[in-house]
A and B are shown apart, each in its own frame.
Chain A
Amino acid sequence: MKVLQSLLLVLALIVIALVVAVIPGGQTLIGKVLPYLAFAVFIGGFIAKVVGWSRSPVPFRIPTTAGQEESLPWIKPNRFDNPSTTFGVIVRMLLEVTMFRSLFRNTKAEIHDGPKLVYGSSKYLWLFALIFHYSFLTVVIRHLRLFLNPVPGFVQAISFADGFLQVGSPSVMISGLTLVLGVLLLLLRRMIRPQVRYISLVNDYFPLLLILSIAVSGILMRYFLRVDIVSVKQLIVGLATFHPVIPGQVGAIFFVHLFLVCCLMAYFPFSKLMHMGGVFLSPTRNMANNSRKVRHINPWNDPAIKPHSYADYEDEFREFMKEAEIPVEKE
């Protein structure tokens, strides 16, 4: 049901784009105005979200039990899974961002005959996420060839590696196929596993379907409904140099693709996709577990409330305590 709603939303966006791309002035709207608006919403929304998060105090160091924390000298600490130094935190964060180690630890719970509860490792999500994110990254870097003039070497190197199968003309790009594969695997996981389907909402399906529609429109454009790439690059470089132009004849499929990308950018800061910025702010990943070495003051403590030791407490209430026959330490 939810997946159908999301699918309808994406289809509606595609129809809107198709209609706007053919009405007079529509191409100017999608090609010259919308990208700036969407980009501004993306950057502004992203910053607002992160600043909003940074306003919440994080009271305590959150130790994760994934590794032995630093304690006595003869107990070997796990320096990266339970780091007590900033360096350790940086390594843990890098591993998290580049290797998705939290997903690697994913477990599944099953009830067997008995009844017996059994936990096992479940690496699917980790594998699918790796396929998806790295394909997406490669695709984004490859697209820089349409943004930068002259095209720098690293973009050419990645495009070359991506197309090294040398199948067909224009060459098949591996990352395009693995991107679609990754999205489909993540989507099917949500739709097939009952536990995941039960907790999935429209805002889980919609980003996946939106990204799928972007990838499919791009693949259609590259291999089937060709557009004039030289004009497309002129348009995009025009945007990046603040002299937007709509050159030559560019097929409607390009405007559909661009419209969907603008939707993704504008939607990004308000969606779960913000985990791109959020991962760096996850308290279980970005804090050194050094509570045994350093005193951390809870940042929302009211400075007007002074510490109140037991000795002070007894001084204050000694008479009442004696009256109630509560033992006191000092007579």
Chain B
Amino acid sequence: MYDKEKIIPGLIVFVLIAVFPILYNRGNAGHIPNPEKPKAARECVRPVQDMRESHMQLLIDWRTDVIRDNGARYATAAGGTRYARSLQLGCMKCHDSKRKFCDECHNYAAVKPYCWDCHIEPKENM
């Protein structure tokens, strides 16, 4: 093997970069999000699995429909619960803590929805 003194450190750097996630986590999966279930309500606006997958698309569809296409501001869930198709007056009426609900998952997945630049989050009652 020629140029050992350069190639071996190079390979070590490569391996370190490649296994960086393993070294970083150090075998600890860390905090798993546990969003707080609403106490007052029994069902979400859509089946839970759909909400976990695509609530952000639902929200933006509501936004477009309500604001741009003059769509209905209220709707009824499969189980008969009436809700407002709105971020502040809908989701946040049932999920009344952004910190204990939305942020639980969003911190885990490292997303920071910019919605809160304008929309007002519910007051946290601590």
**A residues apposed to B, CB below 8 Å:** 39, 42-43, 46-47, 50-51, 54-58, 144-152, 155-156, 159-160, 166, 168-171, 226-231, 233-234, 237-238, 240-243, 248-249, 251, 277, 280-281, 299
Contact = CB atoms under 8 A, between A and B. Distances in A.
A228 B3 CA distance: 48
A229 B113 CA distance: 15
A229 B28 CA distance: 19
Given A230-B33, A233-B109, A144 B21 contact: yes
A160 B114 CA distance: 10
Most B CB within 10 A of own CB, among A57, A156, A228? A228
B14 A145 contact: no
Interface string B108-119: 111111100000
Interface string B6-43: 01001100110011011011011111110000000000
A297 to B, nearest CB: 12
Contacts of A47: 11, 15
Given A43-B19, A155-B110, 11 more contacts: A42-B18, A51-B1, A57-B2, A151-B110, A171-B114, A228-B53, A229-B109, A230-B52, A231-B52, A237-B25, A299-B2
B56 A249 contact: no
Contacts, number: 102
B110 A226 contact: no
B108 A230 contact: yes
Contacts of A51: 1, 7, 11
Nearest to A240: B21
Contacts of A155: 110
Contacts of B60: 168-169
A56 B57 CA distance: 56
A248 to B, nearest CB: 8
B54 interface: yes
A13 B3 CA distance: 39
Contact of B109 (A145, A160, A299): A145
Given A168-B60, A230-B33, A230-B109, A240 B14 contact: no
Given A160-B112, A228-B49, A50 B11 contact: yes
Contacts of A243: 27, 29
Contacts of B84: none
B40 to A, nearest CB: 24
Interface string B95-124: 000000000010111111110000000000
Interface in B71-111: 105, 107-111
Contacts of A148: 21, 24-25
B44 interface: no
A58 B110 contact: no
A46 B7 CA distance: 12
Contact of A149 (B22, B29, B114): B29
A-B complex: 9 closest residue pairs judged by Cβ atoms? A149-B30, A147-B21, A151-B110, A169-B60, A226-B54, A145-B110, A226-B53, A240-B21, A169-B56
